[in-house]
């Protein structure tokens, strides 16, 4: 299944999978993907830390959190997987950025 999204086979973890002042708030933790792009990518991810990072990226794309810690975390995750970040942004934009 990873062949459909080759970048999903890479290690996505940014090393900042914990919530907190430098890695974003624990309030932003989402346990289920909201976009088809992330659901597809998560099928190939084996690391819990990488899964949490990707879920955080999607949550941040939906509702950016203020502060330099969360922004730096998202930048690292985007750099590790620019195709997925772009797909999530495009999917959310096509929905009008609302996922109720």
pTM: 0.69
- Asked if residues 100 and 53 have their Cβ atoms less than 8 Å apart, the reply is no
Q: What is the pLDDT of residue 96?
A: 80
pLDDT higher at 19 or 74: 74
Closest CA to 19 of 59, 78, 47, 61: 59
Residue 2, pLDDT above cutoff 90 = no
- Residue 57 near residue 14, CB atoms below 8 Å: no
- The average confidence (pLDDT) of the chain is 78
Residue 5: which region, alpha, beta or left (left: phi > 0; alpha: psi -120 to 50)? beta
* Burial group, residue 25, by CB count within 10 angstroms (0-12, 13-18, 19+): middle
Taking only the tens place, the pLDDT of each residue in 27-62 is 555 678 999 999 999 999 999 999 999 999 999 999
């Amino acid at each position: 299944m990873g062949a459909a999204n080759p970048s999903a086979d890479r290690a996505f973890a940014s090393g900042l999978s914990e919530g907190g002042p430098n890695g974003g708030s624990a309030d932003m933790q989402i346990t289920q993907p909201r976009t088809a792009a992330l659901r597809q990518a998560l099928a190939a991810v084996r690391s819990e830390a990488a899964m949490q990072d990707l879920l955080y990226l999607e949550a941040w794309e939906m509702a950016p959190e203020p502060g330099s810690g969360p922004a730096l975390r998202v930048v690292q995750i985007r750099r590790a997987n620019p195709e997925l970040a772009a797909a999530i942004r495009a999917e959310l934009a096509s929905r009008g950025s609302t996922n109720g």
